[in-house]
Structure 1
Amino acid sequence: MLRTIVKITMIGTVVYFGYHCRYRLMNLVLANSFLRKLLVSGTFGSRAVREKMLQGLFGEGNGTNYS
């Protein structure tokens, strides 16, 4: 029982500090060129993410026409 409480507390602490330092962690990961390429190819490999980003970039159908 105590072991489970300690595990939950440790996981909660790691999640809290990971969220608190998320931009530092992201910069640390993106500083490595191999990890950056892997992250970008994985992100754009997902159809839903790619379409959402392109829609936001070009403003198709969301009413934000800046011309």
Structure 2
Amino acid sequence: MNSTIRLPGGLADVAGYPVLLRELADRGWSRADLEALTGRNVLRVLREAEHRATEPLWPTAPLR
């Protein structure tokens, strides 16, 4: 498992994400870029993992 030894001030956990995103927006990142950074990439990775999986990642029958 990889871990980060040093983090920028204010980014020790996800509570700092709004500050990071505001700074990136102020530096010219577009809304689409910010969306890709924060969510779309995760969804893309999950879809690719599901596509390559030999077993379903999600239940195919209703849970009881």
Q: TM-score range by the shorter chain?
A: 0.3 to 0.5
More helix by share: 1
Q: Which has the higher contact order (CA 8 A, sep 6+)?
A: 2
Q: Which of 1 and 2 has greater Rg?
A: 1
TM-score by length of 1: 0.32
